[in-house]
Amino acid sequence: MLFQLVLSAAFLSSLWLVWRRRQQQAVSGAVASGWTLGVIVGLVVTWYPDTASVIANIVGVGRGADLIVYVGLVLLFVLVFQLHVSHVRLERQLTKLVREEALRGLENESRFAK
């Protein structure tokens, strides 16, 4: 019971935060809706664990706990990949800055006029 309460509080807090960010135009409507759907599924599975088994049987995984682990792994993979992509984007912006600075030195190169 305690675990379910803690988990529900975490879910609801995240939902509150996401919609607050939505109001501040920090996240898109699609992201907020997707998050809401995820939270609803999370709450249902938290309070009625058997529903995970029902879904697991439908998709052919077997146990509900296994399904949760698989879904968690996929979500983590997507998250890590997104982090990689955004890391590359930042790296390229950094390169642009470094390049602009380096090219400024071109004008100072006396041999440039050769």
Partner 1 sequence: MKVVAVMPAYKEKDRIYAAICDIRPHVDQLIVVDDGSADGTVEEARRGNAVVLSHAINRGQGAALKTGTIAAQRSGADIILHIDADGQHDANAIPRLLEPLQRGEADVVFGSRFLGVSAEGMPFVRRVVLVLGRVFSRVILGIPRHMTDPQSGLRAMTVESSRRVDFQQDRMAHCSEILRLVTRSDLRWMEVPVRVSYTSDTLAKGNQTSDAFKIVWQLFLGMFQ
Please give the residue ranges that form the binding site for partner 1 (CB under 8 A). 84-85, 88-89, 91-92, 94-95, 98-99, 101-103, 105-106, 109, 111-112, 114
Residue 91 Cβ vs partner 1, minimum distance, rounded to whole Å: 6
What angle (nearest 5°) sits at the alpha carbon of residue 90, between those of residues 88 and 95?
95
Q: How far apart are CA 18 and CA 23, in angstroms?
A: 9
Greatest Cα pair distance, the chain, in angstroms, is 79
Nearer to partner 1, 29 or 105 (CB): 105
Residue 99 Cβ vs partner 1, minimum distance, rounded to whole Å: 5
H or E stretch including 64?
A: helix 64-104
Nearer to partner 1, 50 or 109 (CB): 109
> Residue 16 is encoded by which pair of tokens?
């509150």
Nearer to partner 1, 63 or 96 (CB): 96
Residue 96 Cβ vs partner 1, minimum distance, rounded to whole Å: 9
State the DSSP code for 110: G
Nearer to partner 1, 12 or 98 (CB): 98
Q: Which residue's entry shows tokens 């792994």?
A: 73
